[in-house]
Structure 1
Amino acid sequence: MSEIGRIVSDRAICHGQPVIRGLRYPVSTILELLASGMTQDDILEDYPDLESGDLVAALEFGALTAGRQRVLPFDAA
């Protein structure tokens, strides 16, 4: 099941960068943490606001954008 709905973009949050659920965690930061070798458990321990589905959403967003598909996150509520 897709978790992409957890990714939002709002000009008032991180200058409109795609973030996780409006929490001010840019998707790019999550992807960098994963790429650095941190495990999902490490990240969830260091960032207790995040949930497992948030990390899946970041990976899904990264995969979609890497494939040159245009992804437009919804504005935060």
Structure 2
Amino acid sequence: MQHLERITIDPNICHGKPVIRGMRWPVEVIMDMLGSGMSIDEIIEDHPELVREDILASLNYAKMLVSGRLISQAA
């Protein structure tokens, strides 16, 4: 799936939640920002350490989870 390599899972970072590129940015928080009505551009403007591909990776990851597909990856 597109951009999923940007999502990492490490038990030592954010209690093993899926995060963006090993940073302390959980996919869950990205989804909260989008759900609150923020645009991708607004998120990036407020948090310049994130890039468009990070947001798209979060969306793709969430889509995979709700579709019931298993996501396997190395941390």
TM over 0.5, yes or no? yes
In 1, Cα distance between equivalents of 2:30 and 2:7: 12
- Could you say what secondary structure the match of 1:49 adopts? coil
Unaligned runs of 5+ in 1: none
- % identical aligned pairs: 40
Unaligned runs of 5+ in 2: none
2:9 paired with 1:9: yes
Q: Provide TM-score, normalisation by structure 2.
A: 0.94
Query: Offset of 1:24 from its aligned partner?
Result: 0.5
Query: Offset of 1:71 from its aligned partner?
Result: 1.5
Aligned length: 75
Partner of 2:21: 21
Moved over 6 A (4+): none
Partner of 2:63: 63
Aligned 8 A contact 1:7 1:21 in 2: yes
In 2, Cα distance between equivalents of 1:37 and 1:15: 27
Partner of 1:42: 42
In 1, Cα distance between equivalents of 2:74 and 2:38: 28
Q: Provide TM-score, normalisation by structure 1.
A: 0.92
Q: Which has the higher contact order (CA 8 A, sep 6+)?
A: 1
